């Protein structure tokens, strides 16, 4: 099993643990950002992390892996491959998480929700709600990194390769904003790259 130092070493090797002043998709500000895409662009690393994450769920029946686009797609695919099940993803359409591209959920299907990084858990909960609304069963949640203090859902199997407590702040309470020295950037798929 991969340990904390090894995983952090991977993120540092690929310059994927960023320092600065970041606007997260949740609207919160943070002095650090984990750019998983920089790590997952290497298929051998993505495959290994997918296997490691899949190995955290030996005790549940999983029919498929579902992930939110865009960040969860690559790691979700690798977890699905490791488990030998299908992997598919949700997308936002007009601000609402939805299934597109012909994807569907069977009634009673046991689905594992996989993310790259969980901060507040909002996107994860949206995917969980979509699965349940379509008659599926959420059997667990996994991510490479949980950077928040949020419990996804009491009683639900939530497992992560790494738990990091990286501070986040509402914009009105952000010490970096008050200091005014470090410009705010929005990294990731929706902002500055």
* C-alpha to C-alpha distance for 52 and 43, rounded to whole angstroms: 14
Quote the pTM value: 0.89
Over 50: is that where the pLDDT of 192 sits? no
User: pLDDT digit string (tens) for 56-98?
Assistant: 999 999 999 999 998 899 999 999 999 999 999 999 999 899 9
Delineate the domains of the chain, giving CATH numbers in brackets. Answer: 4-179 (3.40.50.2020)
Over 80: is that where the pLDDT of 193 sits? no
Average pLDDT on 33-56 reads 96
């Amino acid at each position: 099993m991969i340990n904390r130092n090894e995983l952090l070493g991977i993120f540092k090797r690929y310059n994927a643990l960023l320092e600065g002043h970041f606007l997260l998709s949740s609207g919160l500000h943070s002095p650090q950002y984990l750019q998983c895409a920089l790590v997952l662009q290497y298929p051998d690393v993505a495959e290994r992390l997918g296997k490691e994450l899949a190995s955290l769920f030996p005790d549940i029946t999983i029919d498929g892996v579902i992930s939110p686009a865009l960040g969860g797609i690559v790691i979700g695919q690798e977890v699905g491959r490791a488990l030998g099940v299908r992997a598919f993803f949700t997308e936002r359409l007009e601000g609402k998480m939805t299934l597109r591209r012909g994807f569907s959920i069977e009634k009673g299907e046991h689905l594992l929700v996989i993310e790259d990084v969980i901060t507040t858990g909002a996107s994860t909960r949206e995917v969980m709600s979509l699965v349940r609304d379509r008659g599926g069963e959420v059997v667990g949640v996994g991510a490479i990194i949980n950077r928040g203090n949020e419990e996804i859902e009491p009683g639900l199997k939530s497992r992560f390769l790494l738990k990091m407590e990286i501070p986040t702040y509402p914009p009105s309470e952000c010490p970096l904003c008050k200091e005014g020295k470090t410009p705010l950037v929005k990294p990731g798929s929706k902002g500055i790259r």
